[in-house]
Amino acid sequence: MRLVNVSNRISIPRRAAAPGGLAVGVLAAMRARGGLWFGASGEAPQDKSNAPKLLERDHVTYATIDVPEEIYAPYYNGFANGTLWPLLHSFLGTFHYSAHEYQAYDAVNSLFAEQLTPLLTGDDLVWVHDYHLFPLAQKLRDRGIRNRIGFFLHIPFPPLRCAACPAGLP
Q: What is the pLDDT of residues 39-56, one digit of tens each?
A: 999 888 877 777 899 999
| Predicted local confidence at residue 43, as pLDDT | 87
Rounded to whole angstroms, what are the CA distances from 137 to 10, 14, 20, 99, 133?
19, 30, 25, 21, 8
| Predicted local confidence at residue 73, as pLDDT | 97
Q: Tell me the C-alpha distance between 82 and 101, whole Å.
A: 9
Q: What percent of the chain has pLDDT over 90?
A: 62
**φ and ψ of 88, to 5 deg:** -70, -20
| Residue range(s) defining the domain that contains residue 147 | 3-68+116-152
Q: Which of 92 and 159 is assigned the larger pLDDT? A: 92
Work out how many domains the chain is built from and give that number: 1
- Does residue 106 sit within a domain? no
Q: 33 pLDDT band (50/70/90 cuts)?
A: confident
pTM: 0.88
- Does residue 134 sit within a domain? yes
Q: Tell me the C-alpha distance between 17 and 123, whole Å.
A: 32
pLDDT surpasses 90 at 85: yes
- Does residue 58 sit within a domain? yes
Poorest-pLDDT segment among 6-10, 19-23, 25-29: 19-23
Q: Tell me the C-alpha distance between 37 and 62, whole Å.
A: 5
Q: Tell me the C-alpha distance between 127 and 39, whole Å.
A: 12
Q: Tell me the C-alpha distance between 79 and 82, whole Å.
A: 5
Q: Which of 162 and 56 is assigned the larger pLDDT? A: 56
- Does residue 122 sit within a domain? yes
- Does residue 94 sit within a domain? no
- The CATH number covering residue 19 comes to 3.40.50.2000
